[in-house]
A = this chain, B = another copy of it.
């Protein structure tokens, strides 16, 4: 998904919700797009409180929430319970290294299928799920 397309999705969402398309909102969304794959709110706040057109903390929180509601970002929790956001691409799960904190994404079709089968047997209708595997990444294993 290109940045342009993502931006359009965000604008569509704002319009659908009857929200105004303001400089602040677009500005924060652009900042989100230009972050490295995993970022924290404090990074955005920091960046935006120094920038030329400074934006307040409250507005950053409000807008991040809006982008989340638009389904364009989501967060996971690290080992230290920090919220780490990422832009939503295809669905995937995570492996998190307990040594260096690296976050890896993976997707496995069999796993998804199996989950649906399990839910079925519990008469539970799945909507979404999160799975995190904590362990030691290849690099950290070699270092030891």
Contact = CB atoms under 8 A, between A and B. Distances in A.
A129 B122 contact: no
A108 to B, nearest CB: 5
A35 B84 CA distance: 32
- By size class, the interface of chain A is 20 to 34
A26 interface: no
Given A95-B119, A133-B129, A110 B114 contact: yes
A126 interface: yes
Nearest to A83: B81
Select the residue from A127, A128, A133 with max chain B CB neighbours within 10 A: A133
Interface of A: 77, 95, 97-98, 104, 106, 108, 110-111, 114-115, 118-119, 122-138, 141
Sorted nearest first, the 9 A-B pairs with minimum C-beta distance are A123-B138, A126-B135, A131-B131, A129-B133, A127-B135, A125-B136, A125-B135, A95-B124, A126-B133
